[in-house]
Structure 1
Amino acid sequence: MSEIRDTLFRYLTLLQLIPRSPGRISTPVLLEKLHERGFQIDTRSLQRDLRDKLALHFPLTCDDTHKPYRWYFDRDFHRNLPALDVPSALTLVLAEEYLKGLLPPVVVGQLSPQFRDARQLLDDLETNGLSQWARRVRAIPNGMALIPAPLEERVWQAVTQTLLEQKALDVRYLSRSAEAEKIFTLHPQGLVSRHSVTYLLATVNDYADIRQFALHRLKSATISDAPWREAPDFELDDYIRRGAFGYRQSPEDVTLVADVAPQVAWLLTETPLAIEQNLAPLPDSDWKRLTAKVPDEQQTLWWLMGMGANVEVIEPVGWRQEILSTARAIVARTEGDPHGGYAPSYGSQTSPPPDRQSTT
């Protein structure tokens, strides 16, 4: 009885370890993962499990184009181990709605069987109120969201495999600056999804500095024969914290002082701009004086610009100058003088002196 039980658990574990197409897993890797989980089995027994047992009852395929052989299930094969419950199904439906606006379709598509199962489960619950939630709940991004750039499935598969297995990656990359395709060997160190673009963080060829590669500009990606090199002292959270994705102007925070309209003050009362924030009433006005410790980065500056005339920035002076210069450029173009306005380069501190009586 114990032997039968162990065999059953081994089959269940294999069902969980083998990926759906286009994923692949080799026989040696499967054997290693089984050993890690406490199953004592040799290569011949594993091959017999795969070929003579599982392949007879499940859509299991062997990719024997090169050794070691690699195994995968049909991409539409469903595995609910354990079975999906109602709260989990609802969570998956909401997650799908949210992720569709953030990740490339091919990435979201990797989870399409799970999303499909979740929708089906909720649809089948005709007498349960939860069945209506999928039709009545939506995830809306904060601000305008660009449509995620398309990404090839093979590229995504190669990127994730090399990142997780610590392998190098040979790519053809469309350089935005040069507007030409370049061939690199990348050494993946991390993956970051930001707004509608997913970036691979990697070192290039023999260089040690970390660079960012937008995945949708990878025209091809294959596992490299070159040995993978780890970036010394690289830590993903620290990399992000130092402003790698925030267009940071300096590592130090700055004190933002601005007068804000009542609707903006109400917004910032409920959802503060920063942990260190204060809103003080202005004399003889329904506006308030905002003081907040914020990162010295362009993202915060762009948010302030988006508030338009509802915010008047007082400090930092450089930010006030840039907002004022941008407003002048917009007015000049609107009045028919396309070259009469000053178009600032964000981050510059060379804008004309501000007019204190003007508002942003």
Structure 2
Amino acid sequence: MSQRDTLFRHLAILQMLPRAPHSLSTTTIGLRLEEQGYGMTPRSIQRDLEKLAEHFPLQCHKESKPYRWNYVANYNSDLPALDTVTALTLVLAEESVRGLLPKVAMDKISYKFQSARKHLEGLQGNGFSQWSQRVRAIPNGKSLIPAEIKPAIWEGLTDALLNHYAVDVSYLSRFKGELKHYTLHPLGLVTRDSSSYLLATVNEHEDVRQFALHRFRKVKPSASLYRAQPGFNLQQYIDQGAFGFPLAQEPVKLVARITNSMAWLLAETPLSRDQSLSEPDAEGWVRLEATVPNDQQTQWWIMGFGASIEVLEPRTWREQILQQAREIVARGA
């Protein structure tokens, strides 16, 4: 085998190894190498790993066979070197997701952002050294501080999700305020605004439920056999309005009168693919028509525009908004 082939094989091994506490067995490494066209005996793989460990912070766990390998937990790789455009993209991404992802998730990739900032700050010969005064990402609406999630909880739930095993958990019920104990079968993970949710079936039930990650108190692998849901589709689950507090499964036709400034906003960022906006009438109002989910989230979005929108249809939405307006006026009387 040529030195070139050996180099690429070593790079393939380095790219697949995880950081502690996760690890890969030499058997799994061999299977992944085989998928990339490298036929290796277990002994040859072990020799490769031992050579690489002389130059990289690798750990070998010999408690049982096959041996397991990983990087040390705090290893930060600087290869390949960052270019300026990639560095700027990373600092923009950090600004965007800082208020969305839980701290424990941000900590996992913080070294990438640190490297990007150092790269830009080191470019004294151009304006990129002043990026911190020139780059900002702001949320559309009020941004809340992300709920705190314990690192062990994040590790346990994400590992169970990715490796398909059940977990026994202690979970703080929001409604009853008491600690509940479940066996969960993870199906998905969703970050929404400042909170993250695990989607899972519970015990022997088949329905998919949502669990806020910050309410977990304990997580450990379960002796129960993992029950997969082959027909579950995360995007379909979201599209059906699961995170919008649905009032009904079927969408509704929204018809409303809106101000010209709101029409400008929706012309550039439409509410739906079938949205239509009329020309302004004599009083400057624009007629909006769009198919939208029948959920509370859409109603809250509408009410956020206050007097800039008048809902005509659905009639039930119009009545609900008017009733809330009457209650607000009554409190101020």
What TM-score does the superposition give when structure 1 sets the normalisation length?
0.85
> What per-residue deviation string (whole Å, max 9, x for no partner) do you get for residues 51-94 of structure 1?
x3233322222345666654332333222443322222211111
Counterpart position of 1:32: 31
Residue pair 1:259, 1:313 contacting (<8 A) in 2 also: yes
AA at the equivalent of 2:98: K
Q: Indicate yes or no: 2:159 matched with 1:147.
A: no
User: Offset of 1:234 from its aligned partner?
Assistant: 1.1
Alignment of 1:186-265 (within 5 A): 186-265=184-263
SS of aligned partner of 1:248: coil
SS of aligned partner of 2:39: coil
AA at the equivalent of 1:57: H
User: Offset of 1:193 from its aligned partner?
Assistant: 1.4
> What per-residue deviation string (whole Å, max 9, x for no partner) do you get for residues 197-223 of structure 1?
111111112211111111111212223
Alignment of 1:8-47 (within 5 A): 8-47=7-46
Counterpart position of 1:295: 293
Once residues 321 and 25 of structure 2 are traced to their aligned partners in structure 1, the CA distance between those partners, rounded to angstroms, is: 57
Counterpart position of 1:175: 173
Once residues 11 and 226 of structure 1 are traced to their aligned partners in structure 2, the CA distance between those partners, rounded to angstroms, is: 38
Structure 2, unmatched stretches of 5+, are none
Evaluate the alpha carbon distance shift between residue 36 and residue 134 of structure 1 in structure 2; reply closer, same or farther with a 3 A threshold: farther
AA at the equivalent of 1:41: M
Evaluate the alpha carbon distance shift between residue 263 and residue 69 of structure 1 in structure 2; reply closer, same or farther with a 3 A threshold: same
Counterpart position of 2:264: 266
User: Offset of 1:3 from its aligned partner?
Assistant: 4.3
Q: What is the CA RMSD across the aligned residues, in angstroms?
A: 2.2
Residue pair 1:76, 1:113 contacting (<8 A) in 2 also: no
AA at the equivalent of 2:238: I
Moved more, 116-125 or 39-48: 39-48
User: Offset of 1:306 from its aligned partner?
Assistant: 0.8
The percentage of counterpart residues that share the same residue type is 51
Residue pair 1:168, 1:185 contacting (<8 A) in 2 also: yes
Which 4+ stretches in 1 moved above 4 angstroms? 63-69
Q: Indicate yes or no: 2:123 matched with 1:125.
A: yes
Once residues 285 and 241 of structure 1 are traced to their aligned partners in structure 2, the CA distance between those partners, rounded to angstroms, is: 37
SS of aligned partner of 1:5: helix
SS of aligned partner of 2:199: strand
Q: Indicate yes or no: 2:94 matched with 1:91.
A: no
Structure 1, unmatched stretches of 5+, are 336-360
Once residues 48 and 206 of structure 2 are traced to their aligned partners in structure 1, the CA distance between those partners, rounded to angstroms, is: 44
AA at the equivalent of 2:5: D
Residue pair 2:121, 2:131 contacting (<8 A) in 1 also: no
Once residues 156 and 62 of structure 2 are traced to their aligned partners in structure 1, the CA distance between those partners, rounded to angstroms, is: 18
Alignment of 1:159-170 (within 5 A): 159-170=157-168
AA at the equivalent of 1:180: E
Evaluate the alpha carbon distance shift between residue 130 and residue 246 of structure 1 in structure 2; reply closer, same or farther with a 3 A threshold: same
Residue pair 1:94, 1:134 contacting (<8 A) in 2 also: no
SS of aligned partner of 1:116: helix
Counterpart position of 1:4: 3
Evaluate the alpha carbon distance shift between residue 225 and residue 88 of structure 1 in structure 2; reply closer, same or farther with a 3 A threshold: farther
**Number of equivalenced pairs:** 333
Evaluate the alpha carbon distance shift between residue 333 and residue 26 of structure 1 in structure 2; reply closer, same or farther with a 3 A threshold: farther
